[in-house]
Amino acid sequence: MRTFFALWRRELAALFLSPIAYVMLMFFLLVTGCGFYWLVKENLEVLRSVQGLMVVIWACMLIVLPILTMRTFAEERKNGTFETLMTAPVKDSTVVSAKFAGVLSFFMLMCLPTLLYPVILRLLAPEAAHLIDAGQIAGGYLMVGLIASAFIALGMLASALTTNQIIAAISTFSLMSILFFGGLFEPHLSKNVMVREIGGYLSSALHLMESARGVFDSRSVVLYLSTTVFFLFVTVKAVEARR
């Protein structure tokens, strides 16, 4: 555990020392802030505003997560520190899990200021304060964390399979976009009932809106936890192969 926490602090420090991480932080807060302002300005219905906020956060994830994860292994190889890390007396699974925890921690810290938005909404619409359900908000953020975990693991796998950070970022962005937009547009693109059900099951945007509405499906939890474990396992194998 001591080795894990040392590597976790190393990964988190590397993110905070990277200028691109601060650019992503500013981009994330700017887009979510403007999106929340537009939602409140156009529609003060509490439930729709909370659901919209979750979707805005997810839309930002499409840009932020590929950029945060593209450097996890590709940058190590570029800087020549990957060989040093791999020759240290540390397990590959510990390295992968520590990097995963570092990126996930940084992303959750990015989301932390958005917790103020429901408070602002309560101040702007005091007559609707009783409609703001803490459980729905907690469910929405929990789903954000689960989805982020799955795609951070995906991004790390892409970074472990290539030495080019741009290729890793584009690959992660493409797969995330397919799952995001495919689930939304699948009902309009296919008349096959099974295809539409699969598209709805895989759509992270629909999962976010349902959780923000207070509908929390255990199948979504199983989906993202199993996906996270699978991608992390394959990443460990990819790192072992790189030895």
Both structure tokens of 24? 């992503």
Question: What pLDDT was estimated at residue 56?
Answer: 80
Q: Name, of 88-97, 189-198, 216-225, 230-239, the range with top average pLDDT.
A: 230-239
pLDDT band at 58 (very low <50, low <70, confident <90, very high): confident
Q: Which pLDDT score, from 0 to 100, does residue 65 have? A: 92
Whether residue 46 is predicted with pLDDT greater than 80 in this model: the reply is no
Q: Which distant-in-sequence residues (6+ apart) come within 8 Å of 175 by Cβ?
A: 154
Does the pLDDT at position 221 exceed 90? no
Q: Are 122 and 40 in contact (CB under 8 A)?
A: no
pLDDT for the residue numbered 13: 86
Q: Measuring CA to CA, how many Å separate 167 from each of 89, 157, 162, 170?
A: 30, 12, 7, 5
Average pLDDT over residues 8-33: 87
Higher pLDDT, 22 or 1: 22
Which of 210, 194, 179 is CA-nearest to residue 54? 210
pLDDT at position 233 = 95
Say what the pLDDT of residue 44 is. Answer: 54
Instruction: Spell out the alpha helix ranges (H) of the chain.
Output: 2-16, 19-42, 46-69, 74-79, 82-87, 92-111, 116-124, 134-161, 165-189, 193-202, 204-212, 218-242
Per-residue model confidence (pLDDT) at position 19: 86
Q: pLDDT exceeding 70 applies to what percent of the chain?
A: 75
pTM (2 d.p.):
0.85
Residues 203-229: what's their mean pLDDT? 78
